[in-house]
Amino acid sequence: MMKIDPGTSLLATLLFFACWPLVNAAAESPAAVPRGAIVDRHVTARLDQLDVQPAALTSDTEFLRRLSLTTIGQLPTPNQIREFVADPHVDKRGRMIDALLQHDLHSALWATRFCEWTGNDFETLAAGDDVKLALAQLWHRWFRERVAANTPYDQIVRAVVTADSRNDIPLDDWIDKEIAGIQALRAGNPPSGVDRESLELFYQRTDIQDAYPVRELAERVSSSFLGVRLNCARCHDHPFDRWSQDDYQSFVRFFDQVRHGQSPELRRALSERLANRRKLRARGESPGPPIPRITEVYVAERIDQSELPRPLDGARDFKVTADARASLMDWMAATDNPFFAKNLVNRAWAHYFGRGLVEPLDGLTSHLDDATYPELLDELAREFVVSGCDIRWLERELLNSAAWQRSSVTSKTSGGDPQNLARAEIRLPPAEVVVDMWHDATGVERQFGDPLFRGFTAIEIGPNRLPDSPWDAFLDQFGRPERSVTCDCGQKRRPSIRQVLTLMCDPKRLADLSSGHVARWLSDDWDDEQILDEMFLQTLSRWPTAKERQAALDMLQSGPRRQAYEDILWALVNTTEFITIH
């Protein structure tokens, strides 16, 4: 394990790296003009109006790093960087965008975002402790498989909002299937989400008082899928928005038929099975394996017809179906819905650009007047609907734009504020991505505690708690969202002193530096120039500058070679350039 001795002459060299500003490599290679026509038309018009000259496009190395971190949550490998920089194709950026949008980990990263939006929360999931991790992983897998198949966004949301357990499967067949699924979960083998038509796990939860959280479910759907924060109207008319208590209660009624437990029909069927088991046992025959406790998400009949739900646009002639959620979803997915498409566009924009066109993300009504580029949001939402709610169409439109591909380096012409998109935002990655970046940079084996996650990257893990993993506290330190919160206020991705101290001083993280890549490079008998190139490419996704290379070579002459490499790696992973998307 490396040891930092402030009394040695190495300290100045270490600080040389740790305090080095972001390297502006925008002039490394020319780039083709991107294809994001909608985005660039609006942004160019605004910048021309403001007489602001935008920053140059990123270099190829910066582009690949930013693209890889935001689409698949991983650092590019040194070989991928070399191949991309050497690629002479005029549209190599567009081709790389297409390739990473098809990458297996792209759907995993989206699944993690969906788990945050839908509240895949270990604490409130209504299940036994022996299957909670597996069910939370199934939740993630359900979304991952649908994003991988490029399922239209409105269909994904419909399968969440209108979910029930049986999906019209005959009751006895469903019971047999459920028993097999529970047995698989207890064995640590969560079934595939492909054969689950809907995500009933969304409704399989309790609140902190063990009551069924109808109001919380309504608030989550409104916030996550409509971009409207209703929470403040629960107890009084919203102080900063147009929503009244009446609006709130009316929206909640879309979900007050949902139950999680045993429907009368299921209870009768299970009673018959138990009676048959008793008869077999009385005859001396084996009744087979025990029947586990089975519950379902189902929709009860609406008794009170006097106060029916209505959507947030206040339509009084709204027709409510037997399952009110179906009529709600029809309204949400309508082409003229004022919230649904805008919300997804705004959330995708925030993911790729660092902040939404509207902030907070569930402030589409309360903060719409403060939106940057409101006309751009409108046009992207319209075209997203025209595309068939194709998430990848939206991603290509954003990623191929010059606005997204600009350098983050501030200049006199581009200004210091990225809000007008004259330059890119410098920001922290999501917590799970930081964990994967650390593993990519150091080369240590990924270990997340439970055998269920063996071989996983952090972005492939569904649960928001890892009880037996040392990475659980690390994820919290780097801003893992609070999934129990039903509004966007659970997002907390901000830099902190604790983060800095963890990377610099945590004994577990320091121990990582002495194994992994450093051990392999030295055992392979690489020369110093090769190792330095590989180390910089593996951490900062670029080659060292002449000044950096000389400082590192000087360090290698001043002490034991292995210790020097550990010190250099420590310095690199503690730079702003390493820990940010830029």
* Per-residue pLDDT reduced to its tens digit, 358-379: 999 998 988 888 888 999 999 9
In a domain, 185, yes or no: yes
CB 372 within 8 Å of CB 233: no
In a domain, 11, yes or no: no
Answer yes or no: do 229 and 316 share one domain. Answer: yes
Answer yes or no: do 217 and 300 share one domain. Answer: yes
Predicted local distance difference test score (pLDDT) of residue 159: 98
Reported as a pLDDT band with limits 50, 70 and 90, residue 354 is very high
In a domain, 459, yes or no: no
Whether 417 has a pLDDT exceeding 80, the answer reads no
Answer yes or no: do 267 and 361 share one domain. Answer: no
Give the DSSP H or E segment for 559.
none
Cβ burial of 79 (10 Å; 0-12, 13-18, 19+) is exposed
The full length of the chain comes to 582
Answer yes or no: do 303 and 347 share one domain. Answer: no
Ranges 94-98, 270-274, 408-412: which has the least confidence:
408-412
Ranges 146-155, 205-214, 477-486: which has the least confidence:
205-214
Predicted local distance difference test score (pLDDT) of residue 231: 84
In a domain, 574, yes or no: no
Predicted local distance difference test score (pLDDT) of residue 29: 46
Reported as a pLDDT band with limits 50, 70 and 90, residue 40 is very high
Ranges 6-10, 377-381, 491-495: which has the least confidence:
6-10
Calculate the average pLDDT of the chain. Answer: 89
Predicted local distance difference test score (pLDDT) of residue 413: 67
Percent of the chain scoring above 90 in pLDDT: 66
Answer yes or no: do 71 and 207 share one domain. Answer: no
Predicted local distance difference test score (pLDDT) of residue 8: 38
| CA pair distance 518, 539, nearest whole angstrom | 12
Answer yes or no: do 329 and 372 share one domain. Answer: no
CB 129 within 8 Å of CB 197: no
Reported as a pLDDT band with limits 50, 70 and 90, residue 494 is confident
Residue that terminates a domain, selected from 380, 396, 425: 425
Predicted local distance difference test score (pLDDT) of residue 65: 99
Answer yes or no: do 227 and 346 share one domain. Answer: no
Residue that terminates a domain, selected from 368, 402, 425: 425
All residues at 6 or more sequence positions from 232 whose CB lies less than 8 Å from its CB, including other chains: 238, 239, 240, 241, 243
pLDDT tens for residues 433-469? 999 999 999 999 999 988 889 899 999 999 999 888 8
In a domain, 487, yes or no: no
User: What angle (nearest 5°) sits at the alpha carbon of residue 389, between those of residues 118 and 252?
Assistant: 40
More confident residue, 184 or 153: 153
410: its two tokens: 């501030």
155: its two tokens: 């269909």
In a domain, 112, yes or no: yes
Span 5-11, average pLDDT: 39
314: its two tokens: 């206040």
The domain total for the chain is: 2
Span 174-187, average pLDDT: 86
Neighbouring C-beta atoms of residue 465, cutoff 10 Å: 16
Predicted local distance difference test score (pLDDT) of residue 131: 85
For the CA atoms of 342, 196, 113, 96, the dihedral, rounded to the nearest 10 degrees, stands at: -90
pTM, 2 dp: 0.92
CB 225 within 8 Å of CB 157: yes
Answer yes or no: do 131 and 241 share one domain. Answer: yes
pLDDT tens for residues 91-144? 999 999 999 999 999 999 999 999 999 999 988 898 888 888 989 999 999 999
CB 120 within 8 Å of CB 483: yes
Answer yes or no: do 411 and 372 share one domain. Answer: yes
- What is residue 45's DSSP assignment? H
Give the structural domain span for 255.
Answer: 125-139+153-333
Tell which residue, 197, 61, 188, 65, has the closest CA to residue 142: 197
Residue that terminates a domain, selected from 333, 368, 399: 333
Considering 173-182, 392-401, 493-502, the range whose residues carry the highest mean pLDDT is: 392-401
Span 551-567, average pLDDT: 92
| CA pair distance 155, 383, nearest whole angstrom | 17
More confident residue, 5 or 552: 552
Tell which residue, 76, 133, 80, has the closest CA to residue 105: 76
